[in-house]
């Protein structure tokens, strides 16, 4: 029996929602019926996105949140719940990269990548889980947490040692949290996207080096942001009640 993915009745907090994948997930979740807390540091962009979603008949609120700062994470959840009610779903998407050879990268920069990508994802997931444990009985199996990692979690991306280390940490952290919270009615899963066409990588993939890399992919193409939507929405929905602790690679075969 075919079922349409619906997020009606769900309150979803998305970090890194001001651009890129976070913005894409927000639009897709809104279209599926979710009420959204859009979290990031750039609140001007969030407010514009929230207004766009509300003009289309959805419900969204902009939430100031710096995932490197625990007080900011807590305050962001407080703001989201005042506006929407209890948060039952989290997409921990905020992240950054820093390109450079391991021998050259500054320790402060290495630590900054870990702070955003790994520690930030942990604080986002933990604060969400704490609130889900308080707001929903474990028997409801209501909680959903999706961590966004990367194919860099399980393969080397040259010049991205900090990024790969942080995303590998996210993948194992997701499995650990899934095990710890399995009897608390919270599902935790990880998605590992491959290379996606963005403004940031357009110049690289137009260069000779980028064309050579692209030619090495089995399908010789980049993914689009919307290609991730069906899996992410499924993991947030009621349909995924038996799915937890999964690390799902979504890369169009790029790592084959």
According to DSSP, residue 256 is labeled -
Looking up tokens 């491959």 gives 194
Backbone angles phi, psi at 202, to 5 degrees: -60, -45
**Residues 13/46, Cβ–Cβ less than 8 Å:** no
Alpha-carbon span 96 to 38, nearest angstrom: 18
Longest dimension (CA), the chain: 55
Is 163 an annotated catalytic residue?
yes
Contacts of 173 (CB under 8 A, 6+ apart): 118, 121, 122, 125, 147
Alpha-carbon span 187 to 179, nearest angstrom: 9
Contacts of 232 (CB under 8 A, 6+ apart): 25, 28, 91, 146, 191
Task: Tell me the two tokens of residue 101.
Answer: 């050879």
* Active-site option among 77, 163, 195, 234: 163
Residue 137 Cα to chain centre, angstroms: 25
Alpha-carbon span 148 to 124, nearest angstrom: 12
CB atoms within 10 A of CB 216: 9
Alpha-carbon span 223 to 8, nearest angstrom: 28
Residues marked as catalytic: 163
């Amino acid at each position: 029996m075919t079922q349409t993915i619906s997020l009606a009745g769900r309150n979803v907090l998305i970090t890194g929602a001001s651009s890129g994948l976070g913005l894409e997930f927000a639009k897709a979740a809104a279209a599926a019926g979710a009420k959204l807390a859009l979290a990031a540091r750039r609140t001007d962009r969030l407010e514009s996105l929230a207004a766009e979603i509300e003009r289309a008949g959805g419900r969204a609120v902009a939430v100031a949140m710096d995932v490197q700062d625990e007080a900011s994470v807590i305050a962001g959840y407080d703001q989201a719940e005042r506006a929407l009610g209890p948060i039952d779903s989290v997409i921990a998407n905020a992240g950054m990269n820093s390109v450079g050879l391991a021998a050259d990268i500054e320790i402060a920069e290495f630590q900054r990548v870990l702070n955003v990508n790994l520690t930030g994802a942990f604080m986002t997931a933990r604060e969400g889980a704490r609130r889900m444990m308080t707001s929903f009985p474990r028997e409801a199996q209501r909680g959903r947490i999706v961590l966004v990692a990367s194919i860099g979690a399980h393969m080397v991306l040259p010049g991205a040692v900090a990024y790969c280390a942080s995303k590998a940490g996210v993948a194992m952290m997701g499995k650990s949290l899934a095990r710890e919270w399995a009897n608390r009615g919270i599902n935790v899963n990880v998605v590992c996207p491959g290379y996606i066409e963005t403004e940031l990588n357009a110049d690289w993939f137009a260069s000779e080096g980028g064309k050579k890399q692209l030619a090495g992919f089995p399908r010789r193409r980049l993914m689009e942001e919307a290609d991730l939507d069906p899996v992410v929405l499924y993991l947030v929905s009621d349909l995924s009640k038996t799915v937890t602790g999964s690390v799902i690679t979504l890369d169009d075969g790029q790592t084959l």
